[in-house]
Structure 1
Amino acid sequence: METTSTYDKASGEFIVHSPTDLSQKYWISNGFHHANMAVVFAQTIVNGKNEGVNPFLVPTRDSNHELMPGVQNRDMGVKIGVNGVDNAILRFTNVRIPRNNMLTKYAEVDATGTYQSELAKPSQRFFAVTERLLSGRICIAGLCIGATRGCLYVAIKYAKQRMSIGPEGLSTVPIMNYQLQQNAIMPLMARMFALNVYYNFVRQAFKEQTLGWEIPSLCSSIKTMMSWNAERTATTTRERCGGMGFLSSSRFAEYLAVAHTGLTAEGDNRVLMHKITKDLILAVTKKGYVLPKPKLNVKAQIGTMDDVSSLELISDLFRFRVETLLAKLGAKTAELKKQGKSPYEVNMMGTSNLIQDLAMAYGERRMIDSCLDFLGGLDSAQDRKVMECVFRVAAIDCVKRDLSFYISEKAIKPQAGANLLIAQ
């Protein structure tokens, strides 16, 4: 982050400046046509010292909606979709703003020109400010719920109307009746419902702010999981609608673009997964967080069963997966450090797969526990029966995806793994 905001003590102003092409601000929402103010994150120079990144309110247009002096503004260009959203490239050349335009919840420069903050480290101040992005991640998850539902609605409605070959050789059977169509669509719908329950839990947790360190991880995991499911759903439902799904009127192209927006906006999904794992390790090793334990002995009990398809057993399997992956990551990290690898090499070159898998395991463990809590709050036995079936489909799909892990760790017998397909 190269844009600077240098305090001019003589005038009591900050000078906001983007010294290089790389210091320009890209993908600024509503920046090209609509916005007249911007919150700018900049390296803050006070009395010759860099105090780290702080946020500033910078006017970009005047009362006539003309660009302010020193503000350069360009359109990002035509995107693959979501072109109704206005995105800009912003650059600042010695733009002066009043001292009071610094956003001062975590730091400020007082009237004497002294920088003050209760947070000692620049990194602490930066992460405190950027935590406001968490609400954006929840919003993106909500956006992706809508896109996922749209895809499923179009695909299921089409599949119930599109007739194909029946037993008599005529086009008398809706393709939704075919196992092929159901196997492609129904797990995606089940996961959408399970993620929706998890989304509601995360939204409430963000509102209440009682889960401490876990709030950023919850917001990041629901954003990544929901957007990946939206992308997978858009691709699969487009395919299962055949040529009709290729028409623009099907809206699959827009839904796919929305999903890809979710993959990247407010933090690249893979980068967020890295942060989820980093925060989990820090919580366990430094903050006294204890991972939820399986209720049963997974290897000695669940590992001997032929049927492991109940939600309670799968919840135990998910907890076992988090524990095991965390231990494997710790062991691999220690091994690489012993070989003389730097922390950078360990994280970026040696343990990436484990980091990504652990973050997903954490999110899916939280998802299935949210579903179990949701079932416990339903008064109607019929409602519980239906939703338990939906959540089981979603949970079994996760176990099937990671079946090699569970079998190799002796958490599931091969026969139990084979039986999962029948159960689903």
Structure 2
Amino acid sequence: MTQAPSRTALLDDPQLRPFLPLLFIAWSDGDLEPAEFAAFEDHIKEMPWLRPAARIALQAWLDPKQPPSHKEMDTLFETIGKVASNLDVDHQRDLVELGMSFAPMGTPSDDIRRALVQLEEAICGSLGPAEPLLRRVRAGRELGQEVTASGVSVPPPFDVATMRAVLDGDQAKVRDEVRRFLDDPEKRAYGLPVKDYRAKVAGWLEALADAGLGTRAYPGVTSEEKDLNAFVATFETLAMGDLSLLVRFGVQFGLFGGSIFFLGTDAQRREHLARIARLELPGCFAMSEVGHGSDVQSLETEAHWDAATRTFVIHTPSESSRKDWVGGAAQHARMATVFANLTVGSEKQGIHAFLVPIRDAEGELLPNVRAGDSGHKMGLNGVDNGRLWFDHVRVPESAMLGRFARMTEDGRYESPIDNPKRRFFTMLGTLVGGRVSVASASVTAAKVGLAIAVRYATARRQFGSDDGVEMPLLAYPTHQRRLLPKLATTYVLSFAVAGLRRRFASDQRASLEASARGDRTIPDTRETEAFAAALKALASWHGVETVEQCRQACGGQGYLSVNRLPELRADVDVFTTFEGDNTVLLQLVAKSLLAGFKKRFESNALAGVVRQVMSKAHTAVTEKNVIVVRRTDSEHLRDRGFHLAALRYREERLLETVSGRLRKRLAAKKDPQEAMLDVQEHLVALALAHADRIALSWFDEGATSCQDDALRGWLDKLGALHALTLLRRDATFYIQEGYFDSHKESAMREETERLMKELTPAAVALVDAFGIPDATLAAPIAFMDPAHPRWP
């Protein structure tokens, strides 16, 4: 019930102050009974020294027919906080004594003490200890937050909407459209039977298509977009919701439709893409085989050109050649992009992509096509992953995606790229968007987990001092260490994948513009491909580790499906495998670094790597500075220039040492492949060091360009916590190298502790800036703080 404004206005009356703690505890303890109010009426007559205004205020605050609202209780508590700001609340344990501490100078202390004792006994049944109130006061001091009567409240130390705008970047409108789509309780499901779950996800996908979100995948064909920036941002934001829907969206519009967009001719785009964008032609992407996953160049599926009929014959000759883990193949897809080794006459032309119908309009499998269900999985059971076999299936000449290859009128094979290996990797390079998308989605999954865990850690209390005062979980340094470095890294990677997305979109825009001009020159995108592989590995591992840490940090509540974390953890795990196994990708990144990007970014380009390694004695390693080695002041330890220099030193030093190891083996005439296997773990370490460095570099670009000084200050703290966490993780390397000593490592540890304490009061605001809709976040434990409007 709305109260008269005079009730809160009178809180500043000095005579009322001694009663404030008692008023708060009285209403926190429960509603006042009529008998208690009657007793109060009797006692108030024995307080003739009260001024009329103070008497009216007491009567208003203790009226059982008009209990105070949450807002009024918050105002009451804020007033208590102001009065108590100079008091040692840790030594005030009795309500009467605490109230006496609030009494202004010159007031009749004996009368006030007697009144407080009488009121405590009459109204509160001898409440005695002031712990319910002091607990909240201490909690606020521990977190550096204000705490309200209705719970822990975190007044944002910065404008959350502005931070969200910084994170959303130039795709804010696109992201908001996706958020509106997701902000619906009906788009949340868990615990359903597989059949029902798949049906629900299929319905959501239709709704996405109806909303036109799939058209963004084909700029210049089905949309007015100039590049794929909007599509990748759409995919990234969809990861706030159900990840099975995300995968179905990615398979239909990104992989299946994307294969035609990038590898097809203009005629093939016109024929298929509009229908794919409207979901009138559901499809799938059949590349990996059970016997050949990452080694795409060695796929066994065959495509034979039959010159007499001008058809291709698609065939899986063995069980190991079956197409596996094909999203959509088990139930929904009617056409597949099938990657197969093409043979024309007696010549092998390498891997090519073919459009192969697999089901009719009624969903029945077509002749000579066999499909199976992959079965129940660890996660993503809303996706109908399946297996495909082809028994000499004939498809027309137009089925071969023809951007890089075609059959001439006289039945000869023709390609603008003569070298089959180069042609193959050029084709694969056009599909790098999948890795960009998975990297982006992995960061979003980490954001969801952190939003749940950080909010819960602010509201949930346990243990504390010997006097029984409980503290919020986030007040504990151990809990801060579990979540805040992950939060910092998530911010860093959010800027990093934004930089990657822009670079990818720029490359694709240049390629499309060249194609439109009739320019057959293939743009050099191998550096972007390496960046995408590196960040995909870094981001997907971070997503898995972060969600798992968030689940554990929420204790038993994190194990409940209703709180999203179990399903999120299971769903995100496969991101480390999607679009290439992370360990394999990192070896490709390392080989590209060894080759200095002088040869095509490819898994088997050992000759180019060998030549580059043998011709170069060492890399230019950053010079070590004795003063920098020992410098431990806070300004230096938080300086991003220092962080970037250290990460670059590690990357270049690893490049130098792995080159030396390879050079030694190659000089001894060891087989290049064996030499690579000898240093495999070294290669992975090099690639991760490269990924760490480029991620922080792109974060630096984004943070430095932020125009809001206050926000930039918070971003600097996040960047420093992330970087110092990395440097401490690899402290053994740096100490052995003499880059810094053990004293500096100790100073870094202390600095990370200071940064975590500084970031703790902003933790909720930082996760709120992710802009995850309430209905999408969904977890009840994320809404235990009444400051959030959807608190149950």
The amino acid across from 2:572 in the alignment is A
- Where 2:418 maps in the other structure, the secondary structure is coil
In the alignment, what sits opposite 1:224? 537
In the alignment, what sits opposite 2:342? 44
In the alignment, what sits opposite 2:209? none
Cα distance in 2, alignment partners of residues 59 and 297 from structure 1: 60
- Where 2:338 maps in the other structure, the secondary structure is strand
Cα distance in 1, alignment partners of residues 670 and 630 from structure 2: 40
In the alignment, what sits opposite 2:725? 397
The Cα shift of 1:327 comes to 0.4
User: Does residue 1:366 correspond to 2:679, yes or no?
Assistant: no
The Cα shift of 1:29 comes to 1.2
Residue range with higher mean Cα deviation, 279-288 or 72-81: 279-288
Distance 1:167 1:135, change over 3 A: same
Cα distance in 2, alignment partners of residues 397 and 377 from structure 1: 24
Cα distance in 2, alignment partners of residues 365 and 387 from structure 1: 17
The amino acid across from 2:704 in the alignment is G
The amino acid across from 2:732 in the alignment is S
User: Does residue 1:235 correspond to 2:538, yes or no?
Assistant: no
- Where 1:16 maps in the other structure, the secondary structure is strand
Cα distance in 1, alignment partners of residues 567 and 429 from structure 2: 29
Q: CA contact under 8 A between 1:293 and 1:320: conserved in structure 2?
A: no
Alignment match of 1:342 (pick from 656, 671, 675): 671
In the alignment, what sits opposite 2:557? 244
The amino acid across from 1:404 in the alignment is T
Cα distance in 2, alignment partners of residues 66 and 156 from structure 1: 48
In the alignment, what sits opposite 1:378? 706
In the alignment, what sits opposite 2:378? 80
Alignment match of 1:297 (pick from 623, 626, 641): 623
Residue range with higher mean Cα deviation, 139-148 or 174-183: 139-148
Q: CA contact under 8 A between 1:213 and 1:283: conserved in structure 2?
A: no
Q: Please list, as runs of the form range in 1=range in 2, the aligned pairs for 1:174-213 lying within 5 A after superposition.
A: 174-209=472-507, 212-213=525-526
- Where 1:388 maps in the other structure, the secondary structure is helix
Cα distance in 2, alignment partners of residues 286 and 43 from structure 1: 23
- Where 1:106 maps in the other structure, the secondary structure is coil
Structure 2 stretches lacking a partner, 5+ long: 1-298, 511-523, 601-611, 753-792
Q: CA contact under 8 A between 1:41 and 1:53: conserved in structure 2?
A: yes
- Where 1:170 maps in the other structure, the secondary structure is coil
In the alignment, what sits opposite 2:569? 256
Distance 1:183 1:385, change over 3 A: same
- Where 1:57 maps in the other structure, the secondary structure is strand
Q: Deviations over 1:237-264 (max 9, x none)?
A: 1111112211222222222123212100
In the alignment, what sits opposite 2:115? none
Residue range with higher mean Cα deviation, 202-211 or 325-334: 202-211
- Where 2:332 maps in the other structure, the secondary structure is coil
Cα distance in 1, alignment partners of residues 712 and 619 from structure 2: 24
Q: Please list, as runs of the form range in 1=range in 2, the aligned pairs for 1:66-105 lying within 5 A after superposition.
A: 66-105=364-403
- Where 2:370 maps in the other structure, the secondary structure is strand
Distance 1:86 1:399, change over 3 A: same
The Cα shift of 1:300 comes to 4.0
In the alignment, what sits opposite 2:685? 357
- Where 1:80 maps in the other structure, the secondary structure is coil
Structure 1 stretches lacking a partner, 5+ long: none
Cα distance in 1, alignment partners of residues 747 and 627 from structure 2: 17
Identity percentage of aligned residues: 28
Residue range with higher mean Cα deviation, 332-341 or 47-56: 332-341
In the alignment, what sits opposite 2:648? 319
Q: CA contact under 8 A between 2:526 and 2:597: conserved in structure 1?
A: no
In the alignment, what sits opposite 1:277? 590
Q: CA contact under 8 A between 2:378 and 2:571: conserved in structure 1?
A: no
- Higher strand fraction (1 or 2): 1
The amino acid across from 1:112 in the alignment is D
The Cα shift of 1:321 comes to 1.0
Q: CA contact under 8 A between 2:325 and 2:386: conserved in structure 1?
A: yes
The amino acid across from 1:416 in the alignment is K
Cα distance in 1, alignment partners of residues 482 and 393 from structure 2: 55
Alignment match of 1:409 (pick from 729, 737, 743): 737
Q: CA contact under 8 A between 1:305 and 1:413: conserved in structure 2?
A: no
Cα distance in 1, alignment partners of residues 584 and 477 from structure 2: 37
Q: CA contact under 8 A between 2:327 and 2:386: conserved in structure 1?
A: yes
Cα distance in 2, alignment partners of residues 194 and 293 from structure 1: 27
CA RMSD of aligned residues (A): 2.0
Q: CA contact under 8 A between 2:303 and 2:343: conserved in structure 1?
A: yes
The Cα shift of 1:127 comes to 1.1
- Where 1:27 maps in the other structure, the secondary structure is strand
Cα distance in 1, alignment partners of residues 365 and 597 from structure 2: 50
Q: Deviations over 1:193-218 (max 9, x none)?
A: 00000000000000112884311011
Q: TM-score of the superposition, structure 2-length normalised? A: 0.51
Q: Deviations over 1:349-375 (max 9, x none)?
A: x11121111111111111111122112
User: Who wins on radius of gyration, i.e. which is larger?
Assistant: 2
Q: Deviations over 1:82-122 (max 9, x none)?
A: 10111110010010000111111111122211011121222
Cα distance in 2, alignment partners of residues 298 and 108 from structure 1: 56
- Where 2:355 maps in the other structure, the secondary structure is strand
The amino acid across from 1:21 in the alignment is E
Q: Deviations over 1:315-349 (max 9, x none)?
A: 0011111110000010011122244431121212x
Cα distance in 2, alignment partners of residues 418 and 133 from structure 1: 45
Q: CA contact under 8 A between 1:16 and 1:93: conserved in structure 2?
A: yes
Q: CA contact under 8 A between 2:429 and 2:525: conserved in structure 1?
A: no
- Where 1:379 maps in the other structure, the secondary structure is coil
